[in-house]
Each structure stands twice: as structure tokens, then as C-alpha cells.
Chain A
Amino acid sequence: MSNFEPKLVCFSCRFGWGYLADEDALASQIDNWIPIICSGKIDATHIMDAFRQGADGVLILGCPEGDCHFQDGNFETRKRVYLLQKVLASCGIEPERVRLELSVDPEGKTIAERVKSMNESIKRMGPVKRVPSAA
């Protein structure tokens, strides 16, 4: 499926990602980018909603381990993402469609790159195959 263009949703924590940059300018470079306050806010239902609305993958950018503004929001998300990945895998959906990266980038220069790199790997997977793919 060479002409498949994956749709990605990217959530990033405002405390670690792009807070020095002009958010509007960054947003114009990244499709479906949703800056939020604390990656810990990302509930599994938000991720599932993204898939429900047609996303092929979800990228979550949180702050480095031990560096959460709210103590352990990023670790909470890590638990949630790991659990969700298990569930996706047992439904035959590639767990790599949900990716959590814990790092920091005040200028947000790498966000677009990270989205692009995830896009590439999703491109290789193709669109989400619901189990089992209906005829």
C-alpha cells in the first residue's frame, strides 16, 4: 500500500515540549498536534477516541522520568500506555501504534521530526486492521 498516508495524533506535555516556541507556528507544521498540560492527562479513552476518529497511530511526548511537574504524571501514563499496548496486541493491533517518548525539548524543534519518524513506521504497518478485518 504505497500511497497510504498515515494519520497521526500527537499529544505533548506543555511543561517539557515547545514551551519556548510560538505554539501557533509549531502547530502549523504538525498535523493533529495537541499540546496539553501533563502527559498524565492522557486517558486510555482519549487514545481510543483518536483511533475511533480514524487515527492510525498516537504519539505521546511526556517529560523525562522523575521530572514530572505533577510528581508522576508521566509514569502514570507509562503504565496506561503499557497496559493499552497489551490490550491492542491481544486484539491483533500493533502495539507500536501507540508510542510514548519521555524527554524534553523546550523549543519543540524535534516534535515534527518525531512525528515524521513515527509516521514512517506506521506507513510500513498500513492502516489499522480491526480484528478480524471485515470482508
Chain B
Amino acid sequence: MIAKPKVAIAWLGSCGGCDEAVVDLNEALLQVTDAADVIFWPIALDYKYHHIEALRDGEIALSIVNGHVRNSEQEEVAKLIRKKSQLVLAFGACACFGGTPGLANLRTKEDILNWVYRDAPTVINPKGCYPQTRSQVNGKELTLPEFYERVYALNQVIDVDYYLPGCPPPPDLIASALKAVLEDKLPPRGSTLAPQKALCDTCKRNATKPARIAIKDIKRIHEVDANPDVCFLEQGILCLGPAIRGGCGEACININIPCRGCFGPVEGVEDSGAKFLSALAAILDVEDDGEMRELIERIDDPAGYLYRFSLPVSILGSKRIQES
């Protein structure tokens, strides 16, 4: 019997949603396990890092990696996986762009630790204990991974072969990505395994867009009863659809929530925030500087809104991890 190709599913700084999305493949998952051996999947199987270390380099055909990198353990696992795998798929917004945890790059490491261990109202820490990478307890040394200065996307730590965005990626795209791997029908390396066009392109509300949108007010989704059939932008609600890659199945739009951008920039664009910013500026219907300022002030937390999933890969926060 020919050995089945080996597949690993790893989570780094992850919420578990991406693993759940794989579980949600249901029966399709059985087809995958028929065709391949899942040799590592911490959320579901009891395999240890040393099992991976024992493999030959490149022995894993495909590693599906979700989550961002923010500590030394995540970096170590990412590098180990890379060494042992022929293909690495960055799975989900966190692995692809840093994801929502990437918004932590708006704060320093010190700010974060001080809040979590000292200042948050729910903290009781009379001795002022902060996590240490090494500490002595009863004569034994305990170690913890080092918490880094910032959040990194996977490709800022290791080379990545393919990307599958989403928070989490939708089942149809996961299934077709796995199929493409198993049937050896992958596009060129570096590709994103999702449609190339912007979300607006497939959004059913697109037809309601006038030739030229002109908004006089900016509203947040919870402040209004949004019309479920009309383009959000036309209603003055910020929707990142024009700058974001489609393929999510319009999950948010369908429940009357504007696009927040978990699929990352549309093909050919590096910085989806800047792309959206230009589109937004163009539709602000203001006559003079005063009106302009007043309207733009209505946008709460513009960096957070424009880079909700992609701050670590935007120019505003991009850096590759130092080679160690």
C-alpha cells in the first residue's frame, strides 16, 4: 500500500475558530482523512511537538497553519512546521494578515502587560506579579514562552506557499483548497486560494448602488435600522466591500452587517485600508473643509476600522521577524 500524504493542522495565536471551520467540513473531512494522514492537529489529536521533530524534513505534504505569531513558542512551532513541510497554507485572517489580534500592534507590549496584570479593574495582583520567561518555584525552574513586542502574520516569520483568508475561512473554499492539494491542481505558489475580485462584485446589494454615491453622514451599524436590501455605503454605513477580496459568501452582508475585511485586500492591492480610504474620501459629500472635518470626525477609531484584520501587514505595522 502506498503511504498516504501527511497533513498537519497547527494553531499558533488562534481563537480556535479556524480549527472549528475545519471540523465543520463534516463528511468532507472524512474524504480528506481517506486520502491523507492527519499526523498533527493539537485541537483534535494527541500528538506532540516531538513527533513533528522526529519527521524527516519535507515529510509533511501540507501544513495548514492558523493564528498569528506573538510569542517564542508560536515562532518555534511555525519554523518547525516549515522545515518539515512541502507546502504551508496560511489559514485564516490571523495567519494571513495578523487578524484582529493584530490590532494589539496599536499598543506597546508594556501597555498590554500593564493593563492585563495591573490596571484592568478586574485585576487583583497585590504582589505585582508579571509573567517571566524563567522563574524558580520550590527549587525548580519554570519557563514560559517570551511575549513579543508585536503581532506578526505568518509570512513575516516563515515562507508561506498559499493563503486562505477569512475569519474563519468558509467551508466551500476550504474544501476546494484541500481538493486542489490532493489532486495536485494548485495555482502558482504565493497565490490566495480565493476569488480575485472585490466583494462588491458578488454582493447582491451592488445593484442598488447609484452611479455616484454621495454621503452626508456616517452612521455606525448599531445606530440605525439598516435597510437589508440597499448597499451599506449608500446608507452611510462603512462597508469595506470595495477594497476587500470576495469569496466569503457574504456571510456578514446576509445578516445585515457591513464587511469588516477578514478576506484581506483584493488581488493586486497591498494595503486594503488605504484602498478603502480613497474610496471613502471620494463619496464624502462635503462642500468645504469645515464640513469635511466634521464628517470625518464621525469615524470612530479609523485605524481600527480600516485595518481590523490587517494591521500587521499594512505599512503602518509591517515588519518581518528578526532572523534568529
Contacts and interface: CB of A to CB of B under 8 A. Distances in A.
Interface of A: 43-45, 47-49, 51-52, 76, 78-80, 82-84, 86-88, 90-93, 130-132, 134-135
Given A79-B286, A80-B277, A87-B277, A130 B317 contact: yes
A48 B318 contact: no
A82 B292 CA distance: 9
Interface stretch (B81-89, B246-254, B294-302): B294-302
B106 interface: yes
12 contacts: A48-B270, A48-B271, A49-B270, A76-B282, A83-B281, A86-B302, A87-B273, A90-B301, A90-B303, A130-B317, A131-B316, A131-B317
B299 A86 contact: yes
A81 B291 CA distance: 15
A131 B105 contact: yes
B281 A48 contact: no
Contacts of A93: 316
B296 A51 contact: no
Nearest to B243: A45
B173 interface: no
Contacts of A43: 274-275, 278
B271 A91 contact: no
Contacts of B270: 45, 48-49, 52
B315 A132 contact: no
B317 A91 contact: yes
A44 B281 contact: yes
B293 interface: yes
A51 B278 contact: no
A24 to B, nearest CB: 31
A132 B149 contact: yes
A52 B299 CA distance: 25
A79 B286 CA distance: 9
Interface of B: 105-109, 149-150, 269-271, 273-275, 277-278, 280-282, 284, 286, 289, 292-293, 296, 299, 301-304, 306, 314-319, 322
B318 A87 contact: no
Contacts of B293: 82
A56 to B, nearest CB: 13
Contacts of B273: 87
Contact of B274 (A47, A82, A130): A47
Contacts of B277: 44, 80, 83-84, 87
A86 B301 CA distance: 9
A83 B218 CA distance: 13
Nearest to A43: B278
Contact of B150 (A48, A78, A134): A134
Nearest to B322: A134
Contacts of A135: 149
Contacts of A84: 274, 277
Contact of A87 (B108, B286, B303): B303
Given A83-B302, A131-B316, A92 B278 contact: no
Contacts of A131: 105-106, 316-317
Q: Which of B149, B150, B284, B302 has the most CB of A within 10 A?
A: B302
Contacts of B289: 78
Contacts of B150: 132, 134
Contact of A51 (B107, B304, B315): B315
A48 B304 contact: no
6 tightest A-B CB contacts, nearest first? A90-B303, A80-B281, A44-B274, A79-B281, A132-B108, A48-B274
Contacts of A92: 106
A113 B284 CA distance: 33
B83 to A, nearest CB: 24
B302 A48 contact: no
B303 A80 contact: no
B316 A91 contact: yes
A48 B316 CA distance: 9
Nearest to B272: A45
A111 to B, nearest CB: 24
A78 B286 CA distance: 11
